[in-house]
Structure 1
């Protein structure tokens, strides 16, 4: 072997050794980083949030801002970033957690629920309060918040005051929380819920999407926008209202001195659950005791570049007729009428702007959030998109068939799989279509794919979770959750 060859081999050997040392150091640094416990300032408020659709996170961030402005230190942390060894050193903790569906913890909190809430700690040094967000329409109202509070008490943590449950962003409930927090912290804080920016949208048009369907009628709602901004994945929080015909029917049964003044007063009042009118009570006094109509959340189905904000709303049927939210948007509101609403950011369901494969799975009105994501991916020029969508019958329920077909033909959609349960015997759902494409799913996930799930929690979302666990394994699915590559907007 020549001298030059020996020198060259020696050079490459040195390079290989340096590369080996660098690799060893990198592995050591990563392990050390994992083992390192975050140092918590005992005088600082630690605000831990668990959010499904962005509400708890927004409130947590704003509370931290209010505390800082009042002269107190505050730090916000997502619950999935909290490590078990950090809890015994946390002294002043505000927990702000959501419950969704039938008492489920948010996706970001499931690992905490399974791995930490099943352990015991000495948390006697912790003073805390829990603010739980939920919806009284569900039987297990604020269940995760209640579970968390019970666990903290069992670990000897010291509550500043009782658990506060918030029903559908109720201002009264939030006022209760703020009052207790100000008293416990001995600080004057602003009212976080007053920061919500309401806007008046105009109802431009609505289209029935599934005429003839055996399921509930679904409408495409189109609202005009003026300088409003949002991202695909965000939520429109709509203030339910009464239509003119509904108010007129009420006034015919309960006459008022001034029909116009009464109509204005009744616009946002719940006319289905009335307090008993006292014998000497005037109409206007009676109306002040009416409950306000609730808010309703809808996934946004468009991006700002489309110059209009779109929703997909399925009519909900109750014993008293159409649901207050779906009835208002799909029937009661007149074209051109104002719809009061608030755009709520939903970072847990936002798209990452990276040219990686994206798998979109949904059913029914869940197509809304997925359509917005696909529009955004198209605008970015990213074409490795796969949609799996399910509904009842292809003849009636293939929502957005034309734009989806156009995207498939033009290459925006790499793969389009649809499944219509009533067209198969036995019935077939999106989780079955997913199982049939298990090999492609594994290939895409190994290429770094993200999975976005939007639609009904009961049945569909549970079935997809089970299918993904079967295909990928529980460990890999949990890793996707931790890396935020599996994101859900379910209801």
Structure 2
């Protein structure tokens, strides 16, 4: 019997979807699904005791965990990693027949916190120890006076971060301590994850489920249909990258520019997934061969010697391991702490009690500097994997529209070059793309969704875009998409760089979109063309009244680019406009911007 609106409680769309699913199920799958739905219904109807019927109805009659305690998973995510892990963990818990509520922190009503029973927090840390934007309000509430006492609540925290930052995993540490201070009981110890987080996240999930099962009287071994790794490998990912052919690699800057920004076009033939404006392209880079050779020479090792690259005992020749696997161009405090034990250098050991020296030393130095300044006769090639972390992938905002370029993806990459401590330094991935990648070459990549940087596609919502330098990339993607969809409407771009004649990235495209009314306003700031430096925040301030009018008319606001200076200066300028044009106090203006973030009207992709 097919479901319809007349013979079921489902609407037409739901009935159609269910019919399609049911028709494709085997008899065994239908039996499992029936048991699963029955178990959930019984759990809700009678939460005072485990249902014996569950084991009889579920496939293979395996014992299922049952608990009268409901589980809440909250994630704070800037680029989608914490959200992805939250979704995987929620699916895993449902497999064990728990009732689970999964929510972004900014979608969770604070008053509901006192009703929570088992709470799992998965949060990244942004910038210098700050919560991600969608965790700001919950973080503030939890650390404020109105936070309830949480006796009887059990909790566990998974913290995501980057060891190269001073305040590694700080937001997760904040949540963990505050929940304990409010009286909640820790299920297992907090786990802090570096960029390569799959194995630690997997262990955290399994250990928590074991604890939950144990407290529910279930002794089964924790198994899952898929691990964190296998969930990712359903698609192209870090462990399963797509080899993309380079179609174009163009320097966007004119002759005499201080900058080198590359426009890179890649072929996505048969990739199998679409992307949206705001999403990212992830590149798996390689270290500069010159730096690799210099490091091997400094270490005095044979480049052909096989070295262990992980705890599983996998090996690679030293030269290949240092080129493709290990990060060698960035020092961190945890790395120096490991080096104390592995190098046995008395001078280094003596300095490790001085935090100010550590922070000053790691700034702008790499592994060549470390082994030059603190040589070690006892350090051997087999100890490299104990000292070094994996080479992190690089994320770039996509600069093209999938609808306009279904077999391509474009990125905008600024080549990073500078001098520090008497040596020339280069960005690992940016200079690889600028100097060592030519059309016809292939590079390993994968697409990554960015759920916290999404654009509207209608003609009613005003959109303000602020993207100096390479931060303009996602706005090129957005306007390409709007053009493809035939949309006009109110769109306003603020772009800035050093010089008009050499650094006006994608100049002809913006001007064409202006003429065709895909883009309705364009304000430019070229900082080195005038005696007094002018940046995008100055152009925003000059348009104070109009900017305020757009905000009051429901405009959505997007900021992309440098976090340390630009994003903070832009934020302060917008707050000042709200004070001056709207008569708000500083506190009220800040509260207004916070509310805009909660409503997804103020989104940032900053780095």
- From 428, 436, 445, the equivalent of 2:542 is 436
Which segments of 5 or more consecutive residues in structure 1 lack a partner in the other structure?
1-39
Shift in CA distance, 332/269, structure 1 to aligned 2, threshold 3 Å: farther
Does 2:603 match 1:487?
yes
Deviates more, 1:203-212 or 1:148-157: 203-212
SS of the equivalent of 2:127 reads coil
After superposition, give the CA deviation of every residue in 1:456-491 in whole Å (9 maximum; x if it has no partner): 112211111112212235143233222211111111
Specify the alignment match of 1:188 in structure 2.
223
**8 Å Cα contact 1:89-1:125 kept in structure 2:** no
Q: Is 60-69 or 203-212 further displaced after alignment?
A: 203-212
Unaligned runs of 5+ in 2: 1-46, 48-66, 214-221, 307-315, 330-366, 579-583
Q: Does 1:300 find its partner at 2:398?
A: yes
- Note the alpha carbon deviations across 1:396-433, whole angstroms, 9 max, x for none: 22111111111112221111111112223332211111
Q: Which of 83, 95, 112 is residue 121 of structure 2 equivalent to?
A: 95
Q: Does 1:416 align with 2:522?
A: yes
- 1:296-349 superposed Cα distances (whole Å, 9 cap, x missing partner): 111111122323211111223465721222233322334433322221111111
| Match 2:175 to one of 138, 145, 148 | 148
Indicate the SS of the match to 1:422. coil
Query: Alignment partner for residue 236 of structure 1, among 258, 273, 281?
Result: 281
Distance 1:55 1:251, change over 3 A: same
CA contact (8 A) 2:279 2:398 kept: yes
Q: Structure 2 residue aligned with 1:115, among 133, 136, 141?
A: 141
Farther-moved stretch of structure 1 (382-391 vs 167-176): 167-176
Q: Structure 1 247/459 Cα, relative in aligned 2: closer, same or farther at 3 Å? A: closer
CA contact (8 A) 2:285 2:428 kept: yes
Structure 2 residue 96 is matched with structure 1 residue 61: no
Distance 1:93 1:82 in 2: 12
RMSD, aligned α-carbons: 3.0
Q: CA deviation at 1:438?
A: 1.8
SS at match of 2:325: coil
In the TM superposition, what are the counterparts of 1:444-459 in structure 2 within 5 Å?
A: 444-459=550-565
Q: Over residues 443-465 of structure 1, what are the superposed CA-to-partner deviations in whole Å (9 max), with x where a residue is unaligned? A: 32233221111111122111111
- Cα offset for 1:246? 6.4
3-state DSSP of counterpart to 2:138? helix
* Equivalent residues, number: 450
Distance 1:462 1:286 in 2: 42
TM-score (norm. length: structure 1): 0.83
- Residue by residue over 1:139-187, the C-alpha shift from the partner in whole angstroms, topping out at 9 and shown as x without a partner, is 2222221122121111011111222122124334334434533443343
Query: Shift of residue 96 of structure 1?
Result: 0.9
Secondary structure of 1:229's counterpart equals: coil
1:373 is aligned to 2:489: no
The answer to whether the 8 Å contact 2:128/2:166 transfers is yes
Q: How far apart are 1:279 and its partner, in Å?
A: 8.5
Among candidates 300, 303, 324, match of residue 268 of structure 1:
324
Describe the SS at the equivalent of 2:286. coil
Change (3 A) 1:211 1:42: farther
Q: Structure 1 stretch 61-70 or stretch 123-132: which is displaced more?
A: 61-70
Matched, 1:345 2:449: yes
Residue pair 1:64, 1:74 contacting (<8 A) in 2 also:
yes
Aligned match for 1:316, one of 410, 416, 424: 416
Which residue in 2 is equivalent to 1:33?
A: none
How big is the shift at 1:65? 1.3
State the alpha-carbon separation in 2 of the partners of residues 490 and 341 from structure 1.
21
| SS of alignment partner, residue 165 of structure 1 | strand
* Distance of 1:69 and 1:277 partners within structure 2: 51
**Cα deviation 1:94-124 (Å, max 9, x = unaligned):** 1111111122211112222333321242112
Question: After the TM superposition, which of the residue ranges 443-452 and 457-466 deviates more from structure 2?
Answer: 443-452
Do the aligned partners of residues 469 and 42 (structure 1) sit closer, same or farther apart at CA in structure 2, a change above 3 Å counting?
farther
Correspondence list, 1:455-466, <5 A: 455-466=561-572
Q: From the superposition, tell whether residues 420 and 256 of structure 1 become closer, same or farther in structure 2 (CA, over 3 Å).
A: closer
Q: Distance in 2 between matches of 1:257 and 1:350?
A: 47
Q: Residue 249 and residue 464 in structure 1: after superposition, are their counterparts in 2 closer, same or farther (change >3 A)? A: closer
CA contact (8 A) 1:244 1:332 kept: no
TM-score, normalising length: structure 2: 0.68
The equivalent of 2:107 in structure 1 is: 81
The corresponding residue for 2:21 is none
